[in-house]
Structure 1
Amino acid sequence: MGAQLAAAAGGLDFAPAQRLTVIGLCALTAFVSHRALAVFNDGVRPFLLDFVQGRTRRGATGAVSFGLSAGFVFGLGAPMALSSGVLNPWLVFLPTDVLGILAPRKWLAPVLGGAWGAVVVFGLKGANDAAHRLPVDFLTAMQQMSTPILFLFTLFPVLAVCKQFGRARGAVAGAVELVLVVLTMKLWPKVFAGSLAMAAGVLMLIGFAVARDLRERRDGATTDQDAGNETGVDDPMASLFSASAARLRQHLPLFMALGAGVCLLSQTHIFGGGEATSFLIAQGQYAEAAQVDFYRAFGFLPLIATTALASGAYGIAGFTVVYPLGYLLPNPWLAVVCGALVFTVEVLALSGIGRVLGRLPSVRDSSERLRSAIGDTLQLAVLFGSLLAAQTMGGGLGLLIVGGLYLLNEAMGRVVVRMAAGPAAVLAGGVLLNVLYWLDLFTPLTS
């Protein structure tokens, strides 16, 4: 795995077509963000309703976007790209959210977005080469993050089952996943060991949720609630949802272009939609990467749908189904067509999806549990991987510096968001260890 990741990290020298794809897509996403039609950051989307309705100014909305995005860009997006050699949405899309919202003119937004795309495709290679020439190569050390991220991420369905359906079913799901991981490692060593385990865990979670919803419907527990939803024609939230869905449908051609661009970027295999996915793409395991991002899509679908209907702003990657689709498609032209069709279906079906989610409370809750479990597992995995990287590059001193920076960030009220604090601490610790080396106060563990 280490050799594969090392080769991938050297793959930041993108081909001309790949560079044009990134630059063009960054220009488009900045333009869409400027129009308040879509943003990548789920936390920013609810604030766009006030902006669209004129209750807040562009500068204030841009400040919110920057505050919610900066830590992920520099603490997670950049380190993950440099260590894996694969781009990610935090590095590509979060900055274009900010630049698009802040741009005072419509024509300036795509210019700024394209400029950021150029920085990404041309600047990462130089930063990567410079870092690898340092006495303490902290980027190579950061590749230690791959194993804990990939294997601990496998457990997120178990956590979701335990939180929603209790410890007994959670223990059963955990046992099933453990058996499948061991069997996969033994029988199919070239396949990502967590593939079958995650599939089984997610299917168990969905099965439990559907069974609960059907049982409650049969017992009449939700009859009154459903009747109220169907007869509430004067419900102000229903009116707002309808207006938001109509606003998005009016700009369907723009969303078709957006879906085509995101799917095309995924098809180039220089982009991964998540932490685990980035390392799987780097290893050439595209089917496994598609599987992982498909499960993530299920976890985030209700959040994206409800915030889109409430704010009138969609997600830059939609329901993120275009990620796994792009990984698996054989050529870029097919990716463009399929991406446009997927976004067409998503935007047109948005109102219907919202109504269905309203009638399946347990399934909706399962998605929320999955999203929470993904965050919990990745927080632990990223922290553990960061400490492994710290030990690799600096032994006990590396652990002291990186662990100390992480704890200091916690004590200061999380200046850097917890998910990004570990990788950011590794970068800062790597720079500090190089300074100590130049001062003749530290000797690298490996020459």
Structure 2
Amino acid sequence: MPFALSTAAAVDKLDFSLPESLTVIGVCALTALISNMALAVFNDGVRPFLLDFVRGNTRRGEMTAVSFGLSAGFVFGLGAPMALSTGVLNPWLLFLPTDILGIFAPRRWLAPILGGAWGAIVVFGLSGANNAAHDLPVDFLTAMQEMATPILFLFLLFPVIAIASQFGRVRGAITFVVEIAFVVLSMKVWPEQFPGALAMAAGVLMLLGFALVKDLRDRRAANVPPPASPADAPGAARIPVEDGPDGGPPANPVEDRPDGKPPADPVASLFGANAERLRRHLPWFAVLGAALAAMVNLHVFGGGEATSFLVAKGDYGEAAQVDFYRAFGFLPLIATTALASGAFQIVGFTFVYPLAYLAPNVAVAAVGGAVLFTVEILALSYIGRGLALLPSIRDASDHLRNAIGKTLEIAILFGAIAAAATMGGGLGITLVGGLYLLNEAIGRPVVRLAAGPAAVVVAGIVLNALHWLDLFTPLKG
């Protein structure tokens, strides 16, 4: 049977079992507590502000306002609609609110209570909202499942965009041809598998290969002795050097130090202190890794837009591959902001997702998650040094991250239009497309990634209101 994307059966998965509900509530309580301790947050935009917060230069209310402003659009415009349409929870719905609640809590004991309360609202309230939406004449949640195909099949091209932006259009075009060839081959030879998995693997490997070759070439060029300076030629004019104090020789900043060592780099000192701060709290991160992995292994959670649909369909191997390749785009950002701020990413380098998808049971996943987070914290300084030695690899990850964002913006917009056509035909397209364009025209109060799903929800509500006013007849089927 060829790979299919129907997630209709997945909607009922919003009725969580008691162990699943308690696990989600516990994870939300823990992430809120860790956010309150300023050890980790999910929003990458919030993390750079945490250093001033830890030092007391930013007040709690100001920090809460920053976190809310950077997160609210993703929670209600992307996280909630994606969860309702797939039946699978996601990090925007769970961890952006626990960032806010943890920072907001004036007392440490209050943070896990607020986080746990949010988890309870999600697991118990989402099912009721889902059932109510499906009882409406215009079932916009089922229509939103049409977003799966554009998201999955356009998302796989993000390495093409990254290579074209970093290494030029020729290599980008070559990568595009290679990825399409892998998609066609996969559909022919392995029709039951998601055909984008091998294509993404090939694209990411090509990007890393181009970057590594460039770094090695640049390092070889840097080791070539520079040509002799004209100033060293016999009879060349000499540039006068100022005398040191009291007419003596110029001061040497190394020799003048009592220990003979060069002055300390303040940036390196800060990075080292922040890495040490995270290592001091290593047990908390081990517990966090175990809890996250346990929740993901229950298959009620997807780490990204594309993987939410794959998890809903039960394709955990493909979901693991997608999130594994995606992790390379965010690793440098997470590592550098963690070293600069002293706060880690709530989900680590995101490798916990593929590990937990593939673990045979919850216990194995939890142990693996604890070990993985421990290794990530201990390796943070080494990763930072490695990125400094491989600038093209670091740049490649930046291009990957930007490409992921651009690709998903287009894919989600296409999916939103497909959902609009399914639930409302031409009128649905007009409403969803019009709301998206209006959002652009008024300065984008809702970020592009969330604008499409949010427009589908609003348009669905409008279509139901028009139906009750006898101004719109829902489409059959």
TM category (shorter chain) comes to over 0.9
Query: Within the alignment, does 1:307 sit opposite 2:337 as a pair?
Result: yes
The residue number in structure 1 matching 2:26 is 24
SS at match of 1:219: helix
Query: Within the alignment, does 1:157 sit opposite 2:188 as a pair?
Result: no
Query: Within the alignment, does 1:286 sit opposite 2:324 as a pair?
Result: no
Name the larger-Rg structure.
Answer: 2
User: Residue by residue, what CA displacement relative to the aligned partner does 1:10-34 show, whole Å, maximum 9, x if unpaired?
Assistant: 1101111111110000000000000
The residue number in structure 2 matching 1:101 is 103
The residue number in structure 2 matching 1:196 is 198
TM-aligned CA deviation for residue 233 of structure 1: 5.4
Counting helix residues as a fraction of each chain, which structure ranks higher?
A: 1
The residue number in structure 2 matching 1:48 is 50
Counterparts in 2 of 1:290 and 1:176: CA distance versus 1, 3 Å: same
TM-aligned CA deviation for residue 146 of structure 1: 0.1
User: Residue by residue, what CA displacement relative to the aligned partner does 1:170-224 show, whole Å, maximum 9, x if unpaired?
Assistant: 1110000011101111111100010111111111111111111111111117999
User: Residue by residue, what CA displacement relative to the aligned partner does 1:287-328 show, whole Å, maximum 9, x if unpaired?
Assistant: 110011011111100000000000000000010110110000
The residue number in structure 2 matching 1:410 is 440
The residue number in structure 1 matching 2:451 is 421
Q: How does 1:331-346 map to 2 (within 5 A)?
A: 331-346=361-376
SS at match of 2:7: helix
SS at match of 1:93: helix
The residue number in structure 2 matching 1:68 is 70
Match of 1:7 among 9, 31, 34: 9
SS at match of 1:55: coil
CA distance in structure 1 between the partners assigned to 2:292 and 2:225 by the alignment: 41
Match of 2:351 among 297, 318, 321: 321
Moved more, 1-10 or 64-73: 1-10
Task: Note if contact 1:216-1:222 (Cα within 8 Å) is conserved in structure 2.
Answer: no
Task: Note if contact 1:87-1:270 (Cα within 8 Å) is conserved in structure 2.
Answer: yes
Instruction: Provide structure 1 residue ranges, at least 5 long, that are not aligned to the other structure.
Output: 225-230
CA distance in structure 2 between the partners assigned to 1:233 and 1:119 by the alignment: 54
User: Residue by residue, what CA displacement relative to the aligned partner does 1:17-68 show, whole Å, maximum 9, x if unpaired?
Assistant: 1111100000000000001110000000001011001101011001000000
Q: How does 1:23-422 map to 2 (within 5 A)?
A: 23-220=25-222, 234-422=264-452
CA distance in structure 1 between the partners assigned to 2:166 and 2:46 by the alignment: 27
Counterparts in 2 of 1:440 and 1:357: CA distance versus 1, 3 Å: same
User: Residue by residue, what CA displacement relative to the aligned partner does 1:247-287 show, whole Å, maximum 9, x if unpaired?
Assistant: 10111100100011111111111101000000011111111
Task: Note if contact 1:2-1:143 (Cα within 8 Å) is conserved in structure 2.
Answer: no
User: Residue by residue, what CA displacement relative to the aligned partner does 1:310-367 show, whole Å, maximum 9, x if unpaired?
Assistant: 0000000010110110000001111111100001011111111100000000000110
Task: Note if contact 2:41-2:345 (Cα within 8 Å) is conserved in structure 1.
Answer: yes
CA distance in structure 2 between the partners assigned to 1:194 and 1:376 by the alignment: 18
Amino acid at match of 1:138: F
Between the two proteins, the alignment pairs up a number of residues equal to 441
TM-aligned CA deviation for residue 3 of structure 1: 7.8
CA distance in structure 1 between the partners assigned to 2:397 and 2:49 by the alignment: 23
Amino acid at match of 2:290: A
Task: Note if contact 2:329-2:400 (Cα within 8 Å) is conserved in structure 1.
Answer: yes
CA distance in structure 2 between the partners assigned to 1:222 and 1:365 by the alignment: 24
CA distance in structure 2 between the partners assigned to 1:18 and 1:4 by the alignment: 24
CA distance in structure 2 between the partners assigned to 1:217 and 1:193 by the alignment: 37
CA distance in structure 1 between the partners assigned to 2:464 and 2:441 by the alignment: 26
CA distance in structure 2 between the partners assigned to 1:60 and 1:111 by the alignment: 22
CA distance in structure 2 between the partners assigned to 1:271 and 1:304 by the alignment: 21
TM-aligned CA deviation for residue 2 of structure 1: 7.3
CA distance in structure 2 between the partners assigned to 1:173 and 1:62 by the alignment: 43
Amino acid at match of 1:179: A
Provide the alpha-carbon RMSD of the alignment: 1.4
CA distance in structure 1 between the partners assigned to 2:14 and 2:26 by the alignment: 18
CA distance in structure 2 between the partners assigned to 1:218 and 1:204 by the alignment: 21
CA distance in structure 2 between the partners assigned to 1:305 and 1:441 by the alignment: 54
TM-score normalised according to structure 1 size: 0.97
Amino acid at match of 1:139: L
Task: Note if contact 1:142-1:389 (Cα within 8 Å) is conserved in structure 2.
Answer: yes
Amino acid at match of 2:192: K
Task: Note if contact 2:5-2:148 (Cα within 8 Å) is conserved in structure 1.
Answer: no
Amino acid at match of 1:393: M
Amino acid at match of 1:358: A
SS at match of 1:266: helix
Amino acid at match of 1:47: F
Amino acid at match of 2:325: Y
CA distance in structure 1 between the partners assigned to 2:30 and 2:225 by the alignment: 45
The residue number in structure 2 matching 1:228 is none
TM-aligned CA deviation for residue 4 of structure 1: 4.2
